Amino acid sequence: MSALMIRDLHKSYGGLEILAGINLEARTGEFIALVGPSGCGKSTLLAMIAGLETVTSGEIWIGDRLVNSVQPKDRDIAMVFQSYALYPTMTVRQNITFGMESRGVPKAEQAEAVKRVAALLQIEQLLKRKPGQLSGGQRQRVAMGRALVRDPKLFLFDEPLSNLDAKLRVDMRTEIKKLHHRVGKTTVYVTHDQVEAMTLASRIAVMNQGSVQQFDTPKRIYDRPTNMFVAGFMGSPAMNFIPARLTGSTSIAVRAADGSDATLALAAPLPASAPKDVVLGVRPEHIYRFTTDLKSRKPAVESMQAPVELVEPTGAETLAVLRLGDLEITGRFEPDDAPVMGETITLGIDMSRACLFDPTTRALL
Amino acid sequence: MADIALNARHDPEAAAATRRYFWNRFFVYAVLTLFAVIYLAPLLVVVFNSLREQSEIARNGLISLPRSFRLDAWAQAWGTYCVSGTCEGMKRNFFNSLWMTIPATVISTLLGAMNGYVLSKWRFKGSETLFNLMLLGVFMPGQISLMPWAFLLGKLGLTNSTYGLVLIHVVQGISFTTLFCRNFYVSIPDDLIKAARIDGAGFWRIFRKIILPLSPPILIVTVIWQFTGIWNEYLFGVVFTSGQQQPITAALVALTAGGTTARAYDVMSAAVLIGALPPLLIYLFGGKYFVRGLTQGAIK
């Protein structure tokens, strides 16, 4: 059974269309990430699921109930806000019990629930404090505690980690993942951070300009992005887009640094309907230094020459900016085997992992 | 430290700068003191006269240092002085003012808080227009509404009564209280309201449990503003009430106008001070909260 089902959902303010026909579905216990650049409509979508925004047209189902016109409090959801939205005049305990008090849960039951959640999130020693006396990470925990205490059908997270510093963000990300494993609740998680989406979600909906570009598992989204937007948005450094020309049904030509064409054999033949001009999409980690040994391990690797313009060692890996025709591409290398600046190296491009796009429709071929 | 003192040599530029600084300060404080004296002098004269004997005032003139000291004028002004036939002093009018100001202040502040809450957190189509129309009230002088009020009070049977004045001051004050509260509540994050709605709280529960506990800074401002404004108001009091129903501001005029005998400057001074005391006390005790509340946001 699906815990959340969204059918052909539209939202517009006046004449401005924010969401243009969203279809999504979350199975019970699933962790769905909504990811996209700011202004793509992901937060509006979440607010509509929560009932904080009205539906222009379409349907939202939570469990087996159509909730389009159900009040937020009756939707059986809990939400964690980017700003945490802790009630500033209440103690942590009062913050956590506020919802139960609104619903008239008996005091003994409230105390029991607070105890359970406080232990789960390790915030027992904070219960008497006010939000103003907490650090960012502690506020984050309390905000999650307030959501967890509800035991709802659906958890909604609206960019919950954006206000934390980089290190804490990674820690809390791990905690959210652990927590989800332990609690097993269906979760919808909005983020603009593709790494968060990749690490947390069982399925990701990549959104842009009010519509879902691709809704699939992190692996499928990363390996087979359905269009150039998804390909460019997911992954850092971003996928390289190299203009190319078809030279047969199984080979393409790309412009090398010296202006000559390099021919690369495709791993699989393209359909006959493919256009003459295509875009070759290669992720930085699928670019290697070419060796015969590499070719024997990965038969789909194709080679070409490229000068190294810039090298950026990060410790764990070394990024190299390579010149190809008039454009620069990024390759990700082992630090021990990294090219040096000024060198011209023979690249090995793993064509079995590469994607080809139609430059006019920007869709995957 | 001793070393530094030993090594310090005479620096003419530093000395000149110090001198310039001193004269600058001196000038600033001299001007400020002058203006403070100009503003405080009338108050001082009134305080002195309220403590002098009438005969001494007549002898030495209105503006003069006290040569005698009596509290009789205060007692007379409060309880026994005769104004147009009744000899009850200002006591009754003082309480009229109190029974007018307190309810009007409380009601207009509460209504302002609720209006501000709705206009900032539960916006609806046209709510901004409504707010702008209410703002007009801030800039509208009271005399414009004299005629409508006369008509309305007549219809309601509230002429010459404190209740009528309470009604007038509540309505006239709503523009200000709404403006204050609405602008304060705008700085409360909307996420708080959303979180509370998901938590199952409704319109009133959010107001009572989340908005009001955040409100003391602006409520103090509003109460001070309303209390002093309503207490000191004169026009409506003098137009719509007479005699024993008058608030103290209006009665003070009767005090000076009435009587064929020589003017009792000592009693008048005491009466004026009695009439000015509540706002002065409010200012003395609440002034610092007033400034703080106006400049501070809802969430620190």
Question: Is the peptide bond prior to A237 cis by the omega test (within 30 degrees of 0)?
Answer: yes
Res. A271: pLDDT tops 90: no
Q: Which domain holds residue A108?
A: 2-233
pLDDT tens, chain B, 300 aa long: 455 555 566 788 888 899 999 999 999 999 999 999 999 999 999 999 898 888 888 888 888 888 888 888 888 888 888 776 777 888 899 999 999 999 999 999 999 999 999 999 999 999 999 999 998 888 888 889 999 999 999 999 998 999 999 999 999 999 999 999 999 999 999 999 999 999 999 999 999 999 999 999 999 999 999 999 999 999 999 999 988 889 999 988 877 765 555 678 888 889 999 999 999 899 888 888 888 877 776 665
Query: Is there a contact between A89 and B210 if contact means CB atoms under 8 Å apart?
Result: yes
Q: Is A32 in contact with A202 (CB distance < 8 Å)? A: yes
| pLDDT reported for residue B259 | 57
Which of B191, B192, B205 is nearest residue A102 as measured by Cβ atoms? B205
Looking at A233, A253, A278, the residue that finishes a domain is A233
List helix spans (H) across B160-240.
162-185, 190-198, 203-206, 212-214, 216-232, 235-240
Whole-angstrom distance, CA of residue A79 vs CA of residue B259: 74
**For residue A308, what is the domain's CATH number?**
2.40.50.140
**A364: in domain:** no
Query: Do residue A107 and residue A143 come from a single domain?
Result: yes
Which of B197, B210, B300 is nearest residue A132 as measured by Cβ atoms? B300
**For residue A61, what is the domain's CATH number?**
3.40.50.300
Query: Do residue A15 and residue A132 come from a single domain?
Result: yes
* Phi-psi sector, B243: left (phi>0), alpha (psi -120 to 50), beta: left
Query: Do residue A212 and residue A258 come from a single domain?
Result: no
Query: Do residue A144 and residue A263 come from a single domain?
Result: no
Looking at A212, A233, A254, the residue that finishes a domain is A233
Query: Do residue A348 and residue A287 come from a single domain?
Result: yes
**A362: in domain:** no
H/E segment holding residue A186: strand A186-191
Task: Give B100-149 pLDDT, tens digit per residue.
Answer: 999 999 999 999 999 999 999 999 999 999 999 998 888 888 889 999 99
Q: CA separation (Å) from B138 to B118, B191, B231?
A: 19, 30, 18
Query: Do residue A170 and residue A247 come from a single domain?
Result: no
**pTM for this one?**
0.83
Query: Do residue A9 and residue A92 come from a single domain?
Result: yes
Query: Is there a contact between A85 and B192 if contact means CB atoms under 8 Å apart?
Result: yes
Query: Do residue A40 and residue A167 come from a single domain?
Result: yes
Query: Do residue A33 and residue A172 come from a single domain?
Result: yes
* Mean pLDDT score of chain A: 92
Tokens in use for B163?
């209740």
Between the CA atoms of A322, A324, A328 and A332, what dihedral angle is there, to the nearest 10 degrees?
Answer: -40
Q: Is A190 in contact with A80 (CB distance < 8 Å)? A: no
**A363: in domain:** no
Looking at A233, A256, A275, the residue that finishes a domain is A233
Whole-angstrom distance, CA of residue A96 vs CA of residue A80: 12
Q: CA separation (Å) from A71 to A8, A67, A77, A282, B142?
A: 21, 8, 11, 47, 44
Structural domains in chain B, CATH included, are 2-70 (no CATH), 91-295 (1.10.3720.10)
E strand spans, A82-150 = none
Task: Give A73-128 pLDDT, tens digit per residue.
Answer: 999 999 999 999 999 999 999 999 999 999 999 999 999 999 999 998 889 999 99
**A210: in domain:** yes
**A365: in domain:** no
Q: Considering Cα of A51, then A53, then A54, then A55, what sign does the dihedral take?
A: negative
Q: CA separation (Å) from B265 to A115, A250, B85, B91?
A: 72, 112, 19, 18
Query: Do residue A44 and residue A86 come from a single domain?
Result: yes
Task: Give A113-160 pLDDT, tens digit per residue.
Answer: 999 999 988 899 999 999 999 998 899 999 999 998 988 899 999 999
Query: Do residue A179 and residue A250 come from a single domain?
Result: no
Whole-angstrom distance, CA of residue B29 vs CA of residue B26: 5
Nearest chain B residue to A100 by CA: give it.
Answer: B199
Which residues of A lie inside 8 Å of B (Cβ-Cβ)?
47, 50-52, 71-73, 77-79, 81-83, 85, 87-90, 98-99, 102-103, 132, 146
| pLDDT reported for residue A228 | 95
Structural domain count, chain A: 2
**A11: in domain:** yes
CB contacts of B207 in chain A (<8 Å) are none
Whole-angstrom distance, CA of residue B291 vs CA of residue B258: 40
Query: Do residue A248 and residue A209 come from a single domain?
Result: no
